[in-house]
């Protein structure tokens, strides 16, 4: 496994559409392992392959984080309680249905570091995908999970979360990322330099 460089907003590859994966090969499994390590190094909830320059339909989402969030919402656990990570690879994911009232949450993106903004999305989505062992899955996601799925699948279609907010906020996001990248080599943490640096 290895940490990959994360592409940031402004890179044209983030605006391209990804291709379906016809066969789950050992290379795809190795890619997913690298994506997990990269996502965890960046403290992310999810990561799509285009974010590391691979235009294939695969995303990683930490189901452990989503499950913990649902428990917190129900009052079954404290927000400070530990939770176990459970990164899952979704191969060729597609949304088969969308419903529910709009759910608004503050979103961030590893390709738009140090910027967050509120985004409203449908609160319930049904997603179909294939696991790394070839199992076909249909799963319903709600609230944070629904937002996370829609956010990551947007990446597969060349869409970023800032496309869902106003022009002034988008311009603010671009300025924030530009400032971050200008200083990451000198002032960034070790992981920020590995994830976003020029080396």
CA distance 15 to 11: 8
CA distance 93 to 82: 29
Q: How many CB atoms lie within 10 A of CB 44?
A: 21
DSSP 100-112: EEEEEEEEEETTE
33: CB partners within 8 A, 6+ apart: 1
Quote the tokens at residue 155.
Answer: 């990446």
- Catalytic site residue from 37, 67, 152, 190: 152
Is 152 an annotated catalytic residue?
yes
Q: Which residues are catalytic?
A: 152
């Amino acid at each position: 496994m290895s940490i990959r460089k994360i592409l940031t907003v402004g890179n044209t590859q983030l605006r391209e559409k990804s291709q379906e994966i016809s066969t789950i090969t050992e290379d795809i499994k190795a890619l997913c392992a690298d994506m997990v390590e990269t996502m965890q190094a960046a403290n992310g909830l999810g990561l799509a392959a285009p974010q590391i320059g691979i235009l294939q339909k695969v995303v990683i989402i930490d189901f452990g984080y989503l499950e913990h969030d649902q428990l917190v919402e129900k009052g079954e656990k404290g927000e400070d309680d530990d939770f176990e990570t459970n990164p899952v690879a979704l191969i060729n994911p597609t949304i088969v249905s969308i419903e529910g009232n709009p759910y608004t949450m503050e979103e961030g993106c590893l390709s738009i570091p140090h910027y967050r903004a509120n985004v409203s999305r449908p609160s319930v989505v049904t997603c179909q995908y294939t696991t790394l062992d070839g199992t076909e899955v249909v799963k319903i996601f709600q609230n944070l999970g629904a937002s996370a799925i829609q956010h990551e699948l947007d990446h597969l279609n060349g869409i970023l979360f800032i496309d869902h907010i106003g022009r002034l906020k988008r311009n603010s996001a671009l300025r924030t990322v530009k400032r971050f990248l200008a200083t990451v080599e000198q002032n960034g943490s070790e992981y920020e330099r590995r994830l976003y640096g020029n080396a």
